[in-house]
Amino acid sequence: MMAKLEFSLDQIDYQILRIMQENARTNNADIARELGMAPSAILERVKKLEQKQVILQYNAKINPDALDQKLLSFIFIKAQDPIGTQKVGLLLAKIPEVQEVHDIAGDDGYLIKVRTNDAAGLVDLMRNSLGKIEEIISTRTTIVLETVKEEQKLVIPTED
Amino acid sequence: MMAKLEFSLDQIDYQILRIMQENARTNNADIARELGMAPSAILERVKKLEQKQVILQYNAKINPDALDQKLLSFIFIKAQDPIGTQKVGLLLAKIPEVQEVHDIAGDDGYLIKVRTNDAAGLVDLMRNSLGKIEEIISTRTTIVLETVKEEQKLVIPTED
DNA sequence: ACGGGTAAAAGAATAATATTCAAAATATTA
DNA sequence: TAATATTTTGAATATTATTCTTTTACCCGT
């Protein structure tokens, strides 16, 4: 079940991705104009990029402050997963406040990124959500004071 | 110049954000239908959300594998910033492969998230980019073996 | 409770975009 | 070089975006 995906993107695809990465709501007509192509061709390309899972999704970046989500934290979690599984990782992924779960090298661990309203919210989460996961051995929390940059933009090649 | 921003969102705004967070390319007509409102009203709302900086941007999530960006790492950076500045943070933010830069509590440090093609790319980056920043005292790198979850979705309140 | 005023929503008309599809152009392969 | 497959175009139609006016809802002070 581990089909090797074949991407194979050309320069035009890269340009589309570049535009989409800047503003995912750019319409096909605008992209078409910018690339000097017909809108229908762009539509085809974009559809294909979605099908090939090159574009995974379109999301709106919402200001955390607007939802009063003021505290960002990273938590290293040492856990004892049943061999060959990532049971803990999957449980962590289910927690809504947890934005990222990474299985990291070294200490049988995970690194998670968590957004809560405040310190109290973080404590709550650790007690009520992490606390419920028995396989967790220990945690180490790092509090973010200020975020200088936070994007998911990838570096898109200029030549093929 | 530190104007306190007043958000003040109602339940309809939350619903719009919820939809946009799932798929930022959902068109106004669809949102309107889903919320049982006129498209023009939705347009107004969305514009306002953008103006108020509640919605910061729309981005396409691109599959890192498709661009051969196979390696994800987190690097803790201990640095000696000139007092009251985040000079190092800003320099780090300029590096394209660096997706996130967080100023963290404790050890005068930063935590950055970096995406490179492979280990060689990471070494390159540390040597050529981080190496050029003199204020950096030391680094500690954590390699991600596998990512279980990676989103930026926020928890949107259900009641006001 | 009653206006006055403001903000938001609806509705209708127009502009623009999305989408479909057949034909033409391009690439690909044998 | 011919044959085939893929991609692009261009035109027609369906759908959506946007504008603007009218109507409705909401807020405040009296």
Per-residue pLDDT of A2-40, as tens digits, reads 434 578 899 999 999 999 999 999 999 999 999 999 999
pLDDT of residue B2: 41
* Residues of B in Cβ contact (< 8 Å) with A144: 102-105, 111
A15 part of contact set with chain B, CB < 8 Å: no
Residues in A closer than 8 angstroms to B4, CB to CB, are: none
pLDDT of residue A2: 40
- pLDDT under 50 in chain B at which residues? 1-4, 160
Buried b / exposed e along B65-77 (16+ C-beta atoms within 10 A): ebbebebbbbbbb
- A150 in Cβ contact with B111 (< 8 Å): no
Q: How many contacts (CB atoms, under 8 Å) link A and B?
A: 227
**Distances B98 to A97, A129, B71, B148 between C-alpha atoms, Å:** 23, 30, 12, 20
pLDDT of residue B8: 87
Domains and CATH numbers, chain A: 11-51 (1.10.10.10), 64-143 (3.30.70.920)
Encode pLDDT of A60-116 as tens digits: 999 999 999 999 999 999 999 988 899 999 999 999 999 999 999 987 799 999 999
CB A35 within 8 A of CB A28: no
pTM reported for the whole predicted model? 0.93
CB contact under 8 A, B20 and A60: yes
pLDDT value of residue B108: 75
Three-state secondary-structure class, residue B55: strand
Q: B37 beta carbon < 7 A from strand C?
A: yes
Instruction: Tally Cβ neighbours within 10 Å of residue B13.
Output: 21
Q: What is the mean pLDDT of chain A?
A: 94
Average pLDDT over residues A137-158: 96
Residue A31: the pLDDT is 98
